[in-house]
Chains A and B, each alone.
Chain A
Amino acid sequence: MTVPATDPGRSRHAQYPGRKETAGLDKIRAFVDTEIAPFADAWDQAEQLPSELLTRIGELGLWAPFLPPDDGGSGMDWTGIGQVHEEIGRGCSSVRSFLTVHTMVTWTVQRWGSAEQQARWLPRLATGELIGAFCLTEPDSGSDAAAMGTVAQPADSGWILNGHKKWMTAGQVAGLLLVFARTEAGMSAFLVPADTPGVRISPLNAVMGTRASMLAEIVLREVHVGPDALIGPPGWAAGTVMTGALDLGRYSVACGCVGVVQACLDACVAYTSKRRVRDGRLSELQLIRRKISDMVVSSRAARLLCAEAGRLKDTDDPATIMATWVAKYHASTAATAAASDAVQIHGANGFVSDYPVARLYRDAKVAEIIEGSTELQQITIADEAYREVAR
C-alpha cells in the first residue's frame, strides 16, 4: 500500500497562523497536490521531468512571476515567490531546483541586462520557452568560486570562451546559459545560447538527490559570442551578478526546504496514523510524537525565517543577504533532520520508493551542499555574529 505524499482534500496550509498568502497560492497548492507530488517518485526514477510539466508551469505563469507584467510576469513580490517555491518544494525538489536556477538567470537579465538584452531574452524566459541554467561551478572550483578556470578573451567582435562547468541544474534542457568566466578585468558574466557552436552539454546521471533535476556538465571550446553576451558590470560580476543571483538561489532553496519539512510531516502523520506495532499505533507512541512535534516546530521556524528574508527583499533592504543565509542554513538543516526522522518513522518502508520519504531524504541532503554549503553558512553567519557583537 502506498500512502500518498499529500492529501489533496486538506487545505493544511490554512493553519499557518497569521500568514498573508500571495494571490492564487491555493491554485498552486492544488497543482502541486494533483500534478506534481503524485509523480515525483516516478520522475526521480526516470531521472527527468516531462516536457509537459515544464509547459504546464509556463501556463500557470510560474517560471518568472516576479517580472513586471510588461515583461511577461505578474509582478509577484519575493514573499510570494518564496511561498510558491515552498509549495513546489513540498511536491518535488527537482521541480523546485528548475525554478531556482531559472529565477537566478531571469533575475540577472532583468536586474543587470541592457534594454536590448532584456527585450531579447525576457519574453521567452518568462514563459519558460527558454529555460535558464546557472553555470558557475567547475570540476575544480565549487565553494571557492575565485578558483574558476573558465576564461573569456576579447575577440574581434565579442568574446571567446573556454572552460569546463559541472553540476548545472536543468543543463540538459536549458536554452540559455549564464556563464561566469575570468576576463582581464576580473570575473564577468555572459549569456550564452546553449546551441552556440563549441558548447558541449553532457547529462550527469545517477546522482543521489534531486535526481530529476537534469544535471549537466558543460564544456566550452572556443565558444564565440557577440559583445552583447556580456551581462552586468565587466570585471565585477562577483560582487554583483553572482552574489545577487546566489542570494535568490539561496532564498528559493530555503523556501523549498520548508516544503520538504512539511512533506515529511504530512507523510509521517499519514503513515503513523495507520501503522500498528506491538504497543499500538505509531501515532500513539511518545517517541514518535516527539519527532512529529520537532517537524511542526522546525517547519514553522524555517517558514518564518524565509518570510523575514522575503520581506527584506521586498523593501530592498541589504539585511536580506544575511537573513537569507540564516534562513537557508536553518531550513536546509531542518530538512535533512526531518527527512532522516521521516525515514526512521517509516522503518523499512522508508527505505523504498513506495513512500516519498526516501526521496525526501536524498533531496534534502543536496540543499546542504548547494548555494553555499552548510559549512560556508556556518562561517558566514558566525562572522556576522562577531561583527554584530563588536558594533
Chain B
Amino acid sequence: MSEDVRATIRDFITGNFPDLALKDDEDIFELGFVNSLFAMQLVMFIEKTFSLRVPNQELRLDSFRTIDSMAKLVERLSSDAQISTG
C-alpha cells in the first residue's frame, strides 16, 4: 500500500508543480513552493483521496513535510479508522 500512497501523493504535487523533481524524503516546505493555498489543497486532497479526516493533532507541518511523512500519516489514520470501525 505504501508505494501506492506515495505515488498518489507525488502525482498530486507534481501535477501542480510539474517542474519539480521531488524525492520522497525531501522537505516540501524548505523547497519554498508551498504557500498557504497549496497547503490547504494538500490537506483536502489527502482527506478526499484516502477518505479520512486529519485531526488537529496530526495537522502539523511535520506530518506534511515530505511524501514519506504524508504516506505515514495516511497509513496511521487509515489503520486508526479500521480499528475504530471494528
User: Which residues in A have some Cβ–Cβ distance to B below 8 Å?
Assistant: 112, 114, 186, 232-233, 235-236, 238-240, 242-244, 247, 315-318, 320-321, 380, 387, 390-391
Asked if residues B36 and A242 are in contact (CB atoms below 8 Å), the reply is yes
Asked if residues A391 and B18 are in contact (CB atoms below 8 Å), the reply is yes
User: Which residues in B have some Cβ–Cβ distance to A below 8 Å?
Assistant: 15-19, 34, 36-37, 39-45, 47-48, 56-57, 59-61
Q: How far is the CA of A114 from the CA of B59 in the complex (A)?
A: 13
Distance in Å: Cβ of A307 to nearest Cβ of chain B: 19
Q: How far is the CA of A267 from the CA of B10 in the complex (A)?
A: 52
Closest 3 CB pairs of A and B: A239-B39, A233-B59, A243-B40
Q: How far is the CA of A101 from the CA of B34 in the complex (A)?
A: 26
> 30 interchain pairs (CB within 8 A)?
A112-B56, A186-B61, A233-B57, A233-B59, A235-B60, A235-B61, A236-B39, A236-B61, A239-B34, A239-B36, A239-B39, A239-B43, A240-B39, A240-B40, A240-B43, A240-B59, A243-B36, A243-B37, A243-B39, A243-B40, A244-B40, A315-B48, A316-B48, A317-B44, A318-B44, A321-B37, A321-B40, A321-B41, A321-B44, A391-B15
Asked if residues A318 and B19 are in contact (CB atoms below 8 Å), the reply is no
- Secondary structure of the A contact surface, majority rule: helix
With contacts A242-B36, A243-B39 known, what are 14 further pairs, Cβ within 8 A? A235-B61, A236-B39, A236-B60, A238-B39, A239-B34, A239-B36, A239-B43, A240-B39, A240-B59, A243-B36, A247-B40, A316-B44, A316-B48, A387-B17
Name the A residues within 8 Å of B18 (CB-CB): 387, 390-391
Distance in Å: Cβ of A250 to nearest Cβ of chain B: 11
Asked if residues A316 and B17 are in contact (CB atoms below 8 Å), the reply is no
- Secondary structure of the B contact surface, majority rule: helix
Q: A232-B59, A318-B45, A318-B48 are in contact. Are A239 and B19 (CB under 8 A)?
A: no
Q: Which of A233, A315, A321, A390: most chain B CB closer than 10 A?
A: A233
Distance in Å: Cβ of B25 to nearest Cβ of chain A: 21
Name the A residues within 8 Å of B19 (CB-CB): 390
Name the B residues within 8 Å of A114 (CB-CB): 56
- Taking CB as reference atom, which chain B residue is nearest A243? B40
Q: How far is the CA of A112 from the CA of B48 in the complex (A)?
A: 17
Distance in Å: Cβ of A380 to nearest Cβ of chain B: 7
Distance in Å: Cβ of A233 to nearest Cβ of chain B: 4
Name the B residues within 8 Å of A112 (CB-CB): 56
Name the B residues within 8 Å of A235 (CB-CB): 60-61
Q: How far is the CA of A184 from the CA of B5 in the complex (A)?
A: 32
Asked if residues B60 and A239 are in contact (CB atoms below 8 Å), the reply is no
Distance in Å: Cβ of A166 to nearest Cβ of chain B: 21
